[in-house]
A and B are shown apart, each in its own frame.
Chain A
Amino acid sequence: QLQLQESGPGLVKPSETLSLTCAVSGYSISSGYYWVWIRQPPGKGLEWIGSVYRSGSAYYNPSLRSRLTISVDTSNNQFSLKLSSVTAADTAVYYCARPIGPAAIYDAFDMWGQGTMVTVSS
């Protein structure tokens, strides 16, 4: 049974770097899929942040690309998000997810973590 669990600081200061990790259990990241980060500001809609493959190849939302790094750690079966120079606009629930298809960079998402709230504030 696949499970995804986000972890990281719940509070980040403006201009600093937001760092989150998604631990995957019940499936080996090395077996495939493009693993995904999605976020949702309070009371607002969903935003795809980016995807990473087992090889480390990453695909980013153009609006975040200059501040974003998504990486994979196959030895610990997890993947990570780093978003630099954060502002209040980056305050959101951050979800990690897995798409429904094993080979598609862009796809529907059938498996989600529970989400973790990150607030950007001094």
Chain B
Amino acid sequence: DIQMTQSPSTLSASVGDRVTITCRASQRISSGLAWYQQKPGKAPNLLIYKASILQSGVPSRFSGSGSGTEFTLTISSLQPDDFATYYCQQYNSYSTFGQGTKVEIK
């Protein structure tokens, strides 16, 4: 099993802040990594796939980077609509998700 570890678990930030979330894989997963945003009561929404490709319709303030075992999701300037929980997912071998990072208002 490939384990995905996100940090931090919770992040307090203000509108306009630059925010970075990290996801580490227990073994190398090449670029088989996706990021999702989830709001309460809703299904997750795909933001990034193949570690750095922005999904169609997703604002350009979201970006992803990394390969191998360490990956990051960056929000360049946090907007009110971005307060949510974010998950990483590896799909290099089976599919496993990180435990989530809740971005809350500071």
Contact partners of B46 in chain A: CB under 8 A: 100, 108-110
In the complex the two chains form, what is the Cα distance from A62 to B95 in whole Å? 11
| Residue A46 interfacial (CB < 8 Å) | yes
| Residue B65 interfacial (CB < 8 Å) | no
* Among candidates B34, B93, B99, residue contacting A108 with C-beta atoms closer than 8 Å: B34
Quick check: B43 and A113 within 8 Å, CB to CB?
Answer: yes
* Among candidates B1, B92, B97, residue contacting A46 with C-beta atoms closer than 8 Å: B97
Contact partners of A46 in chain B: CB under 8 A: 36, 44, 87, 89, 97
Closest to B34 in A: A108
Interface magnitude class on chain A: 20 to 34
In the complex the two chains form, what is the Cα distance from A77 to B50 in whole Å? 29
Residue pairs across A and B with CB atoms within 8 Å: the count is 53
| Residue B96 interfacial (CB < 8 Å) | yes
In the complex the two chains form, what is the Cα distance from A114 to B42 in whole Å? 7
| Residue B32 interfacial (CB < 8 Å) | yes
Quick check: A108 and B89 within 8 Å, CB to CB?
Answer: yes
Quick check: A95 and B43 within 8 Å, CB to CB?
Answer: yes
In the complex the two chains form, what is the Cα distance from A114 to B38 in whole Å? 12
In the complex the two chains form, what is the Cα distance from A17 to B89 in whole Å? 28
Q: How far is the CB of A45 from chain B (nearest CB, A)?
A: 5
Contact partners of A62 in chain B: CB under 8 A: 1, 94
Contact partners of A48 in chain B: CB under 8 A: 94-97
Q: How far is the CB of A66 from chain B (nearest CB, A)?
A: 16
| Residue A16 interfacial (CB < 8 Å) | no
